Amino acid sequence: MIIRTFVSLLGLRLAATFLAVWLFATIAALSVAADALPDSTWVPLKPMPHQGPTAIFALAVDPSNNQVLLAGNSEGSILRSQNGGAAWTVVHAGKATLTTIAFSPYTTGLVVAGTRGSGALASKDGGATWSAASGLDGRSVRAFGFALTLVVAGTDKGIFASQDGSAWTPSGLAETNINAIAVEAIHSPVRMVAGGDSQATAGIMPFWQSTDEGATWTQFNPPVTGTIAVKFAAGPLPPQGDIRPLIVGTNTGLFASNDNGATFRPLSGGALLPSTDYTQINFIKDHFDRYYVASDGGGSRGGGLWRTNDSGNTFTSLAPPEASITALAVSNDEAPTLYVASFRPTDHQASLWVYHDTGGTPRGPAITPTPVVSGSRIAHPGKSNQLLDFLGQPETPYIALGVVAVLLLITAAISQLRARHR
């Protein structure tokens, strides 16, 4: 009787061990599957901690890891996620609004962040730790550009340059309000282009170009519409030639140049993109002809997010869940992951979304915000009932089966112990 009970308990323990191992492996495998994003589908991310009723303007993804994400919240803090926005950690507690965050594409681990009125911050470990940059005190930093051994910043008081993002010195246009900057030639002598607004020049859209790493600047006035240069982006070199494509977003349209700004062609208006402000331009790594553009609509309903695979000859709308796009980060993958910040002016709701662009027809969002019956409020993305969210997860049935199996084992063990004491 004792031997039989021992063998029975031994078998029970072996079965319990096997079940525990199976349950752990199953949940781990399902967690990996759950982390894999569906193709061409909009998925809402949970709101960032302490994100008040203001838009998110600073958002960046690590070029070497599409799961490492940096963002600035409404408190002025920088938050970092290592799992694609599923969870956030405050890595810098500040008070000034973050205007931009950018990873260097040429120096591993280097990240710079600009603020409104409080200069810049720099990180050399991928955004895990930060320090205040010197030389930009009191400046509003709106844009960064990168060469192989040089970082440039556009500010409310001209251009500044740095070797490593930590210490900055003036680099021209000291009394000019610079909104946008891009590096067209990354090798020495570095060629750059910068843009501001027309308020100081009697309605003429002012662009400047430097061919000597910012030592001197020359103004030129391209035939583009608008009064504010909002965003510049220089793409990768094409297979033939040594001139990078330059895409310019103004407050009324989108334009492209293939000759270092000598001429531009419109990409918006007519049957092309809408004539609105374009605040985001992101190229896909190693593809001079593939990039994304986005707009917040300038307070109208004309915002959106589009992709081109043919240098802007045609565009495809990615149909974002909300039209006003305030920040965009694109990973360094052939089928990139897009992290998108949107803003709903009606209720001042800032939202974060993720989209794995495999080229298919856009779907989603996976979880659709549902209006309250009264119509007076809207359920915000990522704030749905936690129990319903759990029950809707794909791994929930397997976890339930595992729990039931464990309960059965416990019941069997109790029965065995009772049998021994009879």
Low-confidence ranges of the chain (pLDDT < 50): 1-7, 9-10, 12-34, 367-406, 408-409
Residues 356 and 209 in one domain: yes
DSSP state of 68: -
Residues 352 and 412 in one domain: no
Dump pLDDT digits (tens) for 369-408. 323 222 222 223 333 333 333 333 433 444 444 444 445 4
Asked whether the whole model's pTM tops 0.95, one would answer no
Residues 396 and 379 in one domain: no
pLDDT of residue 351: 94
DSSP state of 299: G
- The Cα–Cα gap between 162 and 169 comes to 7
Residues 400 and 370 in one domain: no
Residues 168 and 261 in one domain: yes
Token pair, residue 177, equals 């309000």
What are φ and ψ of residue 66, in 5° steps?
-75, 5
- The Cα–Cα gap between 256 and 245 comes to 7
Closest among 124, 101, 143 to 339, alpha carbons compared: 101
Residues 52 and 20 in one domain: no
24, 346 contact by CB (below 8 A): no
Residues 267 and 409 in one domain: no
pLDDT of residue 197: 83
Residues 191 and 216 in one domain: yes
pLDDT of residue 62: 98
67: region left, alpha or beta (phi > 0 left; psi from -120 to 50 alpha): alpha
**Count of domains observed in the chain:** 2
Dump pLDDT digits (tens) for 108-117. 999 999 999 9
Give me the sign of the Cα torsion angle 21, 24, 28, 31.
positive
Residue 415 lies in domain: 2-35+387-420
pLDDT of residue 335: 96
Give me the sign of the Cα torsion angle 31, 359, 290, 340.
negative
310, 291 contact by CB (below 8 A): no
Residues 212 and 259 in one domain: yes
Residues 8 and 110 in one domain: no
Q: Which helix (H) or strand (E) holds 218?
A: strand 218-220
Residues 7 and 102 in one domain: no
Kindly report the number of other CB atoms within 10 A of residue 260's CB atom: 16
Residues 69 and 182 in one domain: yes
Q: Return the CATH number at 51.
A: 2.130.10.10
Give me the sign of the Cα torsion angle 112, 144, 247, 198.
positive
Query: Is residue 170 classed exposed, middle or buried when 0-12, 13-18 and 19+ CB atoms within 10 A define those classes?
Result: middle
- The Cα–Cα gap between 143 and 182 comes to 9
pLDDT of residue 299: 65
* DSSP calls for 351-400: EEEEEE--SS--B--SS---B-TTSS-BPPTT-S-HHHHHHTSTTHHHHH
